[in-house]
Structure 1
Amino acid sequence: MPKSILIVEDQQVLREIMKEYLLDEGYRVLEASGGSRALALFQEHEIDLIILDIMLPELDGWSVCRRIRKKSNVPILMLTSRSDEDDTLLGFELGADDYVVKPCSPPILLARTRRLLESRHSRDSGDTLSGGAIKLHLPSRTITLDGKPCSVTHTEFEILAYLLNNKGIIISREQLITKIWGYDFDGDDRTLSSHIRNLRSKLGEYANRIVTVVRSGYKFEDQP
């Protein structure tokens, strides 16, 4: 079955351009011009990824992101203008996984979409990663802390999985950015810092398992 993508964008011309490119790639596309309609479609359909504009009528992108994150860890790719860096960081804090700058380049949009979808569905059945009380079940993309569920976003899961796969090894910021977002990433270090901060907050008493190595990067330690 083709992956289903929900485009939430109030500018019809831009929405139609994105839709055309995604359809050409074989994706199933649903559209919403406002936040309320987007939430309704999300409830009615099985959605694999959401492309979400920040500035929307009735209900803005932040509110849509916040409400969806209460129920799902579906990948969310936000659309933002180049001058909205603070808005982008707020989107990450609310649970967005990545962003594309408007007016967006269709090849970049497709690359980001493909990367999020492939990383979400490329895990082999039965795979588990663990670091002490932290356990990641890769097929279901779930995390438990001392056996209790811990809700994280798609990108937070990818970051933690990569660090756990390389326990005790210092991973540079550049390595993490390339692994999670690819070589075409046009953001800055604040994007990664925001995701690491959010992830540590969700890990609670185990936040210190993700160790910052000054001027080098990060590493995961079972007992820092």
Structure 2
Amino acid sequence: MKKIMVIEDHKKIRDELCKFLIQNGYECLAPENFANIIELILSSAAQLILLDINLPVYDGYHICREIRKVSEVPIIVVTSRDTEIDELLAINLGADDFVTKPYNTQILLARIATVLKRAYHEAPPEKLLCGNFTVNLAKSSLEYRNMTAELTKNELKILTCLYEKKGVIVSRDELMRYLWDSELFIDDNTLTVNMTRLRRKLEETGLMNVIETRRGQGYIML
């Protein structure tokens, strides 16, 4: 069980975030006294820090800078400050990611998982259990009851992206960035073709209405 420290001075936000993290399988530390916060972080053995910027005693930038002098513990800045300058400063000081409030909890959870995986080189799972069907990542296939459908690389990535954000609308732009990891290679028509083929394979294995289109917004896995 990974240990996450939440550095947040707003009690309601801190308590709700800790409750959410615990419900999703993490151990949570949430200090209320910020006088010796840097020493507390370093002695906590936390494996990831969720760090607000507007804090008493020291702001999040100072904390991030001091932590980075002696530790590589992953830091995700979670703040209501949403300018590009704020994000750039946080990243330049050593933060691993930058999330603005108010945030979607499922997206925050996905960001946490990504940062932890990158920091601790965790092996990805071979299978994803998506309700009543399974995505076999090792074999790039879809499994439902006694049916199996082979997936192309792009079909597998689309399904994985929607699974990671199940219940949340994923925009077409976000899907295309996930597919190609670069906005230089975005092709809207190619995404449409891949989505159509993926839906056909889902239906051919007996899975209907797994992916729903939200007009003008994107796609959602139900």
SS for the counterpart of 1:32 is coil
Call closer, same or farther: CA 1:35–1:99 in 2, change over 3 Å: farther
Residues 82, 100 of structure 2: 8 Å contact kept: no
Q: Distance in 2 between matches of 1:64 and 1:117?
A: 20
Alignment match, 1:6? 5
Deviations 1:95-142 (A, max 9, x none): 001011101221111111111112222357xxxxxxxxxxxxxxxxxx
Alignment match, 1:89? 88
The higher-RCO structure (CA 8 Å, 6+ apart) is 1
Residues 1:111 and 2:110 are matched in the alignment: yes
Alignment match, 1:101? 100
Alignment match, 1:167? none
Matches for 1:1-224 after TM superposition, within 5 Å: 2-33=1-32, 35-81=34-80, 83-122=82-121
Call closer, same or farther: CA 1:37–1:113 in 2, change over 3 Å: farther
4+ residue runs of structure 1 moved beyond 4 angstroms?
182-186
Q: Distance in 2 between matches of 1:100 and 1:45?
A: 23
Shift of 1:91: 0.5
Q: Distance in 2 between matches of 1:37 and 1:88?
A: 25
Q: Distance in 2 between matches of 1:31 and 1:15?
A: 7
Q: Which protein is bigger by CA-based radius of gyration?
A: 2
Gaps of 5+ in 2: 124-160, 172-183, 186-222
Alignment match, 1:175? none
Q: Distance in 2 between matches of 1:28 and 1:93?
A: 28
Aligned residues: 136
Shift of 1:82: 5.6
